[in-house]
Structure 1
Amino acid sequence: MPPMIDPALFDQLKTKIEEDTSIRKELDQILDELNQNVSYTQGVLSRIHSTPRSRYTTLLSQVEGGINKEIEMVGRLSEFASQYPYYKYNHKWTRMVQDAISTVILCAWLGGMSTDSKPGEVGRLLKLEDIGQIFNVPVNLKDRDAFHITIEEYLLGLIAVIDDLSRLAVNSVTLGDNAMAVQISGFIKDLHAGFQVLNLKNDVLRKRVDSIKYAVKKVEDVVYDLSLRNLIPQEGQ
């Protein structure tokens, strides 16, 4: 009797498994390098908590150097990942992309990432489209299956920035920059109000949004303490 199963079936499956293993191996190499660049940039950015605002220019130039390497690696990731189904592999890079986004948003908020049309100023918030332009990749793709930055990744990156800024509000007061704490308070409150209007379906994102209220409360306590001590700078100072 002829075999009930075509012997070539498992040869074909073996080939597909080997191809998938090769793809994952090359993807891991790209992501390892991206992770190193992101970790370096995060490390430099962490120095804002002990650096006076007057010395941000030098610090942010180092941060932008790290971000440029992130941009290069995200470009390589986009080129490679776009050859394969997006949702098959996106779980491998989404956290790293969120971290890369947060470094860019925080750097811009602190006055970095300036251009001729957008001069550096503290408090500037980059939009999702700005992030796409900086990394030179599409955002929120709907018409084709390719690498892109999602709305969820942008929002999660933004929440990470809120956490960092709430810490900076405390440390800026320690450094004698009370105005920074007041500015951060207003910014975080505005973001919190904005998040409240979103109809979020992503469970992870919804839980992270719930944590913003603790950052708001933390910064409000700092500003309240400054107001009791009559240390809040008056407008124009």
Structure 2
Amino acid sequence: MSADTTMTTPAPASSAQNIDPAIFTSLQAKIDEESAIRDELKTFVETLSKQGRLTQSILSRIHNTPTAELEAAVLDPCNDSLSQQAATVKELAQSASKFPFYKWNNIWQRDIQAVISSMQICDWLKSGKLLTLEEIGQRLNVPVNLKSEDAFHITIEDYLLALTTTIEELARLAPNAVTLGDYSRPLQISIFIKDVHAGFQLLNLKNDNLRRRSDGIKYSVKKVEDVVYDLSLRGLIPKSTDTT
């Protein structure tokens, strides 16, 4: 009598035996936690963005306000608006410092850069000087360029990207100042942005976006140079202008 050679195939194991549902329960808990963090941070960022739109609306008046009226009509209201933004940045910093900085900083980068640029423009129009990164940190009451601590801070990239925006706005102001009868302002702007351009040329930039933005400064330089050249041809540049 021959042996029965028929083999039986074992039944497939249940998926529940191979995959623990707790894995996905844990993942969902982490997703919910990150969503709550994002919502908390966005609350401050949305407030900052709303305040920023007001600040930029005030600053836009520089293009149609005579230089003699700038301080009362634009710079004072702008500084008041920036004070409100500084308070919001402080609140954002306190909240964001509880979490890994580089995991979440893309949420507020754009609005922080807008604040910095507005501060740079206001201060330059008032004093003719460029605010340093450290002065920005002092005015916003937040750290800058932290290396040993994973907390909220203003980065060098934020400062430089904001500065490229500032240069673009001042280059736009040059021809508008001429329209308003201020023939010395374009020369002041030209000297300033040439100095900034020279400064950027000293930097070895690794950030691709920052490198592209900094390359664009040369077009702003050329734009303002054309305005100054036209004024020079027409003999409209005041000889006694203090351009330092």
Pair in the same fold by TM > 0.5: yes
Match of 1:10 in 2: 24
Match of 2:42 in 1: 28
Match of 1:94 in 2: 109
Q: Which runs of 4+ in 1 moved over 3 A?
A: 1-7
Match of 1:179 in 2: 184
- Distance of 1:183 and 1:15 partners within structure 2: 57
How far does residue 9 in structure 1 lie from its aligned partner after superposition?
2.4
Q: 1:25-104 residue pairs with structure 2 within 5 A?
A: 25-58=39-72, 59-104=74-119
Q: Normalising by structure 1, report the TM-score.
A: 0.92
Match of 2:214 in 1: 209
- Distance of 2:150 and 2:66 partners within structure 1: 45
How far does residue 53 in structure 1 lie from its aligned partner after superposition?
1.1
Bigger shift: residues 2-11 or 144-153: 2-11
How far does residue 236 in structure 1 lie from its aligned partner after superposition?
5.2
Q: Is the 8 A contact 2:197 2:217 kept in 1?
A: yes
Specify every segment of 5 or more residues in structure 2 that has no aligned partner in the other structure, as ranges: 1-12
- Distance of 1:227 and 1:110 partners within structure 2: 23
Indicate whether 1:107 and 2:112 are aligned: no
How far does residue 230 in structure 1 lie from its aligned partner after superposition?
1.0
Equivalent of 1:220, from 190, 202, 225?
A: 225
- Distance of 1:103 and 1:28 partners within structure 2: 21
How far does residue 74 in structure 1 lie from its aligned partner after superposition?
0.7
What are the superposed Cα offsets for residues 83-120 of structure 1, whole Å, 9 maximum, x if unpaired? 00111111111111111100011011111xxxxxxxxx
* Larger-Rg structure: 2
- Distance of 2:18 and 2:105 partners within structure 1: 38
What are the superposed Cα offsets for residues 126-159 of structure 1, whole Å, 9 maximum, x if unpaired? 0000000011111111001001100010001011
In the alignment of these two chains, the number of paired residues is: 227
- Distance of 1:8 and 1:31 partners within structure 2: 35
Question: What SS does structure 1 have at the residue aligned with 2:184?
Answer: helix
Supply the AA of the counterpart residue of 1:235.
S
User: Identity rate of aligned residues, in percent?
Assistant: 53
Specify every segment of 5 or more residues in structure 1 that has no aligned partner in the other structure, as ranges: 112-120
Match of 2:166 in 1: 161
RMSD: 1.4
Supply the AA of the counterpart residue of 1:107.
C
Q: Normalising by structure 2, report the TM-score.
A: 0.90
